[in-house]
Amino acid sequence: MTAAVAGVTGGEARRPAAASTRGAPNGPGDAPTGSVCVEVPVKDDPHLPETIASLAAQSRRPDRILIVATPETPEGLLEEARRRGGEVPLDVLRVPGYVVEARQAALASIREATTVFLDSDESAPTGWLTALVRPLETGEAEYTGGPTRPVRPPANSVERYVALLERSIYEELVRESVTYLPLQNTAWRTSLLRQLGFDTRLPGAEDHDLETRAARAGHRGLFVPEAWVLNDKANVSTNFYRWARRRYRQYLLPMAMSLLKNGALEGRLRERRRRVRHPLAYVELAVKPVAFVHAWALWQRLRRVEQAASAAVSDTPG
């Protein structure tokens, strides 16, 4: 499963202190004041055991790891993840459906004060969790997020485009608006997550929807540049057409739906930002109008279904 700011309402960027080392966020700092659960969604990603091992090696270990798997996730993969988790308590929850549905279902299983999201193709340096959750525990923020770094240099055109997109997100866009934070590598007060919830009508872009609603409600988000993780993009398809279909289903269409739902399209169109210099950026630009028409049609259909369901309940006797 996969699937994002000074002076901006609901978000703020914090730059590392001059004495900090960006390559190694470490130092346990003060004793933890709350419990932390790290949620890792997975389908069949072979990187999962390495991800879990990096959590077990944290200088400040999570109180629990929750793997949110699909019904098809291989049991052998989960067993290896349990082994690599060492002494950290680890639970597995199998949930069918989209990742958004899985995240919503998992909320009922999280009892810790702080929920952290990490993807199954990411691994974290030892001081990552300390850096990511500290602003929540000191009261600086109600949710935080850090950047991702590629494990290796891009090997083809698609990987180069993905790397340029992520660099643009973390070096420019997130510093302007916290609603650009990808959900993987974020930490949230669990009570805030329960209050906002995940909209299961969306097939993706749950990060934009969640962060937009959080910011508009006045909840403070914080970008923490030193809380970085490594992201292995080995699962990015080198076939352009396969990648494009997946990109449309998992990002362009869901993002269009979230922008329309939250009335954020006009603000997005007014933004003046530097375009990623890659041919695929222009391909996506040409496809976006199609995604918005598709998203509008889906919302119209969903609303008709909801209205019909509401009318049926109203007509039920008693």
- The structural domains of the chain, with segments of one domain joined by +, span 11-235, 241-312
- Residue 216 pLDDT greater than 90, yes or no: yes
- Residue 31 pLDDT greater than 60, yes or no: no
Confidence of residue 315 (pLDDT cuts 50, 70, 90): low
**Taking the CB of residue 284, how many other CB atoms lie within 10 A of it?**
18
**What Å distances lie between residue 157 and 15, 162, 250, 280, CA to CA?**
31, 9, 19, 9
pLDDT in tens, 75-120: 999 999 999 999 999 999 999 988 999 999 999 999 999 999 999 9
Question: What's the pLDDT score for residue 124?
Answer: 97
Question: What's the pLDDT score for residue 297?
Answer: 97
Percent of the chain with pLDDT over 90: 67
Rounded distance between C-alpha atoms, residue 198 and residue 54, angstroms: 27
Of the listed ranges 97-101, 200-204, 232-236, the least confidently predicted one is 232-236
Rounded distance between C-alpha atoms, residue 182 and residue 49, angstroms: 22
**Taking the CB of residue 16, how many other CB atoms lie within 10 A of it?**
14
**Taking the CB of residue 312, how many other CB atoms lie within 10 A of it?**
9
Task: Enter the DSSP assignment of 15.
Answer: P
Superfamily of domain 11-235 in CATH is Spore Coat Polysaccharide Biosynthesis Protein SpsA; Chain A (3.90.550.10)
Confidence of residue 63 (pLDDT cuts 50, 70, 90): very high
pLDDT in tens, 140-161: 999 999 999 998 888 888 889 9
- Residues ≥6 apart with Cβ < 8 Å to 32: 60, 133, 137
Question: What's the pLDDT score for residue 2?
Answer: 38
Confidence of residue 235 (pLDDT cuts 50, 70, 90): low
Question: What's the pLDDT score for residue 268?
Answer: 82
- Residues ≥6 apart with Cβ < 8 Å to 278: 157, 160, 161, 164
Question: What does the mean pLDDT of the chain come to?
Answer: 86
- Residue 175 pLDDT greater than 90, yes or no: no
